[in-house]
Amino acid sequence: MKQLAALKNFLREAPWQLWTAQLAAILRIELRRNFRQRRSIWLYLLAAAPVLLIAAHALTSPGGIHCNLQEDTGVMAGIFQFFYLRLGIFFGCMGLFTWLFRGEIVQKSLHYYFLSPVRREVLVLGKFVAGVATSGIFFGLSVLLSFALMYGHFGAPGSAYVFHGPGLGQLLAYLAVTLLACLGYGAIFVALSLFIKNPIIPGMLVLLWETFHPVFPALLQKLSVMFYLRQLCPVSVPPEGALALFTVIAEPVPAWIAVPGLLCLCVLMLVVACMKIRKMEISYLAE
């Protein structure tokens, strides 16, 4: 009871207005840095790749003369699940979020944040929100343009599918899953970057886990971010090839469980990152 009362007093007396102002300032600095630095070029390339591919498909098939709506709906679902979720967003978040703190250490500038009167937990949250906003804008716009090009070249039938059929709902679902993927993978890589100097190898292990999780028992599959993201995709893509032979079919998880589950994972990773950064000491000589 005493601990609960202490927590209530802390929440009541905490300087929320100051923390909010500091969070907004960190967010402005990090967003400007994320969009302007040269390292962001590869994010543009990752986000642009499927847009250019679908644009080429639209140009070679005006009016849908070589395809139909059902086929292109399946193609869009495949591109989203196999490129965006498993490659584009994953590698984009790995590069972006691991660099939020490791980049400051490499550039010998993190001590400026540590010397300022800002709680380190606020610093973690500010950098994380900036990373989510950056990756969400990059890949959200990419998904939006890909979807528009995929159905725009059909003309009136494509417009009817989007605005008078299931198309608009599918687009909103794709955008929501994109944001959840940025949240989940971003939180994981922020935490990894604070514990490990070179998070590339752990990142590859995470990629292998996310890629081959369907072959594991149903209980272990639920420890994967991709398991929940696939459940939320509006169009399912059945496994093909050798992976389909070893796939273990797990019980689907409803959206009202999948979404809070991913958000809880995000919060857990951020709590771990905040606990780590409280005791973090900078040693540029070790880099």
Residue showing tokens 């991913």: 262
More confidently predicted of 221 and 193: 193
In a domain, 196, yes or no: yes
Q: Against a cut of 0.85, is the pTM above it?
A: yes
User: Could you give the number of structural domains in the chain?
Assistant: 1
SS3 of the chain: the string is CHHHHHHHHHHHHCCHHHHHHHHHHHHHHHHHHHHHCHHHHHHHHHHHHHHHHHHHHHHHCHHHCCCCHHHHHHHHHHHHHHHHHHHHHHHHHHHHHHHHHHHHHHCCCHHHHHHCCCCHHHHHHHHHHHHHHHHHHHHHHHHHHHHHHHHHCCCHHHHHHHHCCCHHHHHHHHHHHHHHHHHHHHHHHHHHHHHCCCCHHHHHHHHHHHHHHHHCCHHHHCCCHHHHHHHHCCCCCCCCCHHHHHCCCCCCCCHHHHHHHHHHHHHHHHHHHHHHHHCCCCCHHHC
Q: Comparing 23-27, 49-53, 111-115, 179-183, which segment has the lowest mean pLDDT?
A: 111-115
Looking at per-residue pLDDT, the higher value among 285 and 66 belongs to 66
Cβ atoms of residues 196 and 101 within 8 Å = no
Q: Does residue 169 fall inside a structural domain?
A: yes
pLDDT at 179: 96
What pLDDT was estimated at residue 247?
Answer: 57
pLDDT at site 215: 73
What local confidence, expressed as pLDDT, does residue 103 receive? 83
- In order of 53, 129, 142, the CA distances from 151 in angstroms are 14, 32, 14
Spacing of C-alpha 159 from chain mean position: 29
Residue 193 has pLDDT above 60, yes or no: yes
pLDDT reported for residue 97: 92
Q: For residue 39, is it within any domain?
A: no
Q: Which residue has the higher pLDDT, 178 or 217?
A: 178
Residue 37 counted as domain residue: no
Rounded CA separation 176/170 (Å): 10
* Residue 16: predicted pLDDT: 76
**Are 90 and 185 a contacting pair, CB within 8 Å?**
yes
The pLDDT of 5-17, averaged and rounded, is: 60
Tokens 């939320």, residue located: 232
51 occurs within a structural domain: no
Per-residue pLDDT of 152-170, as tens digits, reads 888 888 899 999 989 999 9
How does pLDDT run across 247-274, given as a tens digit for each residue?
555 667 788 888 998 898 899 999 999 9
Rounded to whole angstroms, the Cα distance separating 209 from 3 reads: 39
Residue predicted with more confidence, 216 or 147 = 147
Residue 7 has pLDDT above 50, yes or no: no
pLDDT per residue as tens digits for the range 96-155: 999 888 888 888 888 888 888 888 999 999 999 999 999 999 999 999 999 999 998 888
Is the pLDDT at 13 greater than 60? The verdict is: no
Residue 244 pLDDT more than 70?
Answer: no
- Least confident span in 8-12, 60-64, 103-107: 8-12
- Look at 4 and 25; give whichever has higher pLDDT: 25
CB 76 within 8 A of CB 162: no
- pLDDT cut 90: percent of the chain above it: 38
Mean pLDDT of 26-39: 86
Read off the pLDDT band of 189 (50, 70, 90): very high
pLDDT value at 279 more than 80: yes
The pair of structure tokens assigned to 116 is: 């300022």
- Is residue 152 a part of any domain in this protein? yes
What confidence category does residue 246 fall into, taking pLDDT thresholds of 50, 70 and 90? very low
Domain region containing 166: 68-286
Contacts of 169 (CB under 8 A, 6+ apart): 234
**Residue 134 resides in a domain:** yes
Specify if 21 maps to a domain. no
